[in-house]
Amino acid sequence: MPRYPVYVPSKARSHACQTVRFLIRDNVPFSIVVEPQDEPAYANQFGAERLLVLDRNDGGLIYVRNWIKAHSIELGFERHWQLDDNIRTLKTWYRGKRLPCDAGLALSVCEDFTDRYENIAVSGLNYDTFARSGTSQPREPFWLNVHVYSCTLVNNAIPYAWRSVYNDDTDLCLQALAGGWCTVLLNAFMAEKLHTMKISGGNTDALYQGDGRLRMARALERLWPGVVTTQRRFKRPQHVVKNQWRSFDTPLRLKPGVEIKQSNVELALRQTATSVHSERLRRMLATDHGASPT
């Protein structure tokens, strides 16, 4: 299980809070951070004991994220997790395929790696759609000094706050990198996240309506002139960081006395669905367990 607290900020999605479902499935402790107006619906769906209720309604995601950090600091933690509420599951590479894995394992491995170093500001898991490779495994188990978003482990010691309504996670990473810290994005473990606005509700849905994508990119460009530009990519306006983040080259620094030792995580394939449609997965199950799966 992760040793740092897991927070899931959510708004008006008690009916479709995807992240909470896999955390419950995998017995990972967490807190859903909700507004007072949403407390009854979330309590009815997930239980009041799993809720942290804010002191105001409609404060916005920036207010919620900074509130979460302050809450974790008050509890005495060095880091904390913030998971978006529209993550379907966490995954890892298993014999060349990206398969769902135990959430506690994925988060704990990220914590173990991060805690080796003294200068990681933000770490987390990449999107499964971005952790692709031409081979059966990702090109690198992690990327250094890039954006980290949606499934983030935040160092409470960093003197930076979420401040931008648009691209709040990217802005936080840029603040940290400009200040000489590092960020780490794991590819070995991944998050399967639904596309923005795929689910009704949320803290930011209204921001993307109309020309919201253009406003989003321009806002980050104004915060980071000369570092961020607005270009058209994927048939829509998109912010682009200069040199694809390669200008940030601060190396990782091991904590004093820490030695890097190889550690193997034991993975086993387990059938969770009633039937398996993929022939390749059926063969993998048969190989692992010595019998033909249903």
Question: What CATH number does the domain containing 23 carry?
Answer: 3.90.550
The reply to whether 257 and 272 lie within a common domain is no
pLDDT given at position 89: 95
249 and 294 together in one domain? no
State how far the Cα of 94 lies from the Cα of 136, in Å rounded to an integer.
9
Contact 39/12 with Cβ under 8 angstroms?
no
Check whether 291 has a pLDDT greater than 90: no
Task: Check residue 164 and give its pLDDT.
Answer: 83
> Could you give the CA distance from residue 70 to residue 151 in angstroms, rounded to a whole number?
18
Cα gap 113→101, rounded to integer Å: 18
Q: How confident is the model at residue 289 (pLDDT cuts 50, 70, 90)?
A: low
Query: In terms of domains, do 178 and 292 share one?
Result: no
pLDDT at 293: 45
The more confident residue out of 90 and 200 is 90
Shared domain check, 276 and 194: no
pLDDT digits (tens, 9 = 90+) for 228-270: 787 777 677 777 788 878 889 999 999 999 988 776 777 778 8
Are the C-beta atoms of 101 and 186 separated by less than 8 Å? no
Q: How far apart are alpha carbons 213 and 108 in whole angstroms?
A: 34
- Looking at the structure, do residues 129 and 200 belong to the same domain, yes or no? yes
120 plus 206 within the same structural domain = yes
Among 61-65, 106-110, 187-191, 208-212, where is mean pLDDT lowest? 208-212
Q: Is residue 222 part of a domain?
A: no
* pLDDT tens sequence across 93-116: 887 788 899 999 999 999 999 999
More confident position, 226 or 233: 226
Share of the chain above pLDDT 70, in %: 87
Could you write out the DSSP letters of every residue in 261-281?
A: ---PPP------SSS---HHH
Confidence of residue 60 (pLDDT cuts 50, 70, 90): very high
The pLDDT of residue 292 is 47
pLDDT score, position 282: 85
- Model confidence band, residue 134 (pLDDT cutoffs 50, 70, 90): very low
Convert the pLDDT of each residue in 32-54 to its tens digit: 999 999 999 999 999 999 999 99
**Whether residues 168 and 285 fall in one domain:** no
**pLDDT the model gives residue 106:** 96
Query: Residue 86 falls within a domain, yes or no?
Result: yes
Flag whether 230 is in a domain: no
Q: Is the pLDDT of residue 185 over 60?
A: yes
In-domain check, residue 150: yes
The pLDDT value given to residue 209? 58
Q: Do 159 and 14 lie in a common domain?
A: yes
Domain assignment of residue 125, yes or no = yes
Comparison of pLDDT for 281 and 180, the residue scoring more: 180
Residue 294 in this model has a pLDDT that exceeds 50:
no
For residue range 144-153, list pLDDT tens digits in order.
Answer: 999 999 999 9
**Residue 166 to residues 125, 159, 208, 213, Cα–Cα distance (Å):** 20, 20, 9, 9
Query: Is residue 178 domain-shared with residue 258, that is, in the same domain?
Result: yes
Picking from 116-130, 140-154, 189-203, 255-269, which range would have the lowest pLDDT averaged per residue? 189-203
The pLDDT > 90 percentage for the chain reads 60
Average predicted confidence (pLDDT) for the chain: 87
Is the per-residue pLDDT at 175 higher than 70? yes
Say whether both 34 and 50 belong to one domain.
yes
| Domain ranges, residue 280 | 265-294
Question: In this structure, are 252 and 274 located in the same domain?
Answer: no
Give the total number of structural domains in the chain: 2
